[in-house]
Structure 1
Amino acid sequence: MKNRKENLPIRVMVFEGGCSGTSLGMALDEQKQDDQVFEENGLTFVINQDLFNEIQPITVDYIETPHGTGFKLSSGFVSAGGGCGSCSSCG
C-alpha cells in the first residue's frame, strides 16, 4: 500500500466552509478521466477540468517560514491555505 500512495498524483481541490470560507487544498488521489494533468519538478498534479476552468490560473509554491514549511496555493478565485493547515494562527 505504501508504494501505491507514493505514486499517486497530488489533487488540487476546493474545500467549502471552514474558518476562511472556500479555500484550495491538496491531497493524494487517483487520476480521473475528466482531470487536467500537470507535471512540475517531478511532481504530478491533477485537477478536475471544470474546476480548473473556473479558478485558473493556479500557482503552487513551496514556502519556508519561521512557523513551518508547506505548500501555498494561489488563485484569483478562492483563498488558498498556507503551510500551517489549521484555522488558528500559526504561532
Structure 2
Amino acid sequence: MLIPITITDKAQLEIKNIINNKNIPADYALRVGVKGGGCGGMSYALGFDKAKEDDQQFELHGIQVLIEKRHVMFLMGMEIDFYEGSEARGFTFVNPDIPKRHDVEE
C-alpha cells in the first residue's frame, strides 16, 4: 500500500515521547486528518484515536497511523515535522507542492 505521508525524525521522536509519557491507550494510533476547506483553506489535525471502519491503517517507523479514506487524497505527499523554537513548539505539516507551511490546529 502506498503511504501518503512522511514523518520526520524529530516528529517521530516527539510522537513516541507522547505515546510513552501521556498514557495513550495501547489500542490507539496516531490519527492524521484534514478539517475545513472553504475560504480559510484546509487545516490539518493530529491526535490519537481508535481505528474506525473507514480508516486506512499503516505503520511508519513503529508508529501506527490512521487516515480516513476520504482524507488520503488531501494528505498525499504531506510531511509531518516537529518545530521547537524559543517562541513556539508544535507539529507542522509541510507539503512540497505548496510553498506555505501549515500549523496544526488541535
Band of TM-score, shorter chain: 0.5 to 0.7
The one-letter amino acid of 1:37's match is Q
Matched, 1:69 2:86: no
Map 1:46-85 onto structure 2 (within 5 A). Answer: 46-75=66-95, 76=97, 80-82=102-104
CA distance 1:50–1:15, change in 2 (3 Å) = closer
Contact kept? 2:34, 2:74, Cα under 8 Å: no
CA distance 1:72–1:32, change in 2 (3 Å) = same
Shift of 1:64: 1.7
Aligned twin of 1:15: 35
Structure 1 counterpart SS, 2:47: strand
CA distance 1:60–1:42, change in 2 (3 Å) = same
* Cα separation, 2, equivalents of 1:30 and 1:24: 18
Calculate the TM-score normalised by the size of structure 1. Answer: 0.63
The one-character-per-residue Cα deviations of 1:45-82 (angstroms, maximum 9, x if unpaired) are: 211122102431221112222223321122357x6325
Calculate the TM-score normalised by the size of structure 2. Answer: 0.56
Aligned twin of 2:48: 28
Residue ranges of structure 1 left out of the alignment (5+ in a row): 87-91
**Structure 1 runs of 4+ with >6 Å offset:** none
Residue ranges of structure 2 left out of the alignment (5+ in a row): 1-21
The one-character-per-residue Cα deviations of 1:15-72 (angstroms, maximum 9, x if unpaired) are: 227xx54211111111122212232233222111221024312211122222233211
Query: Where is the helix percentage greater, Structure 1 or Structure 2?
Result: 2
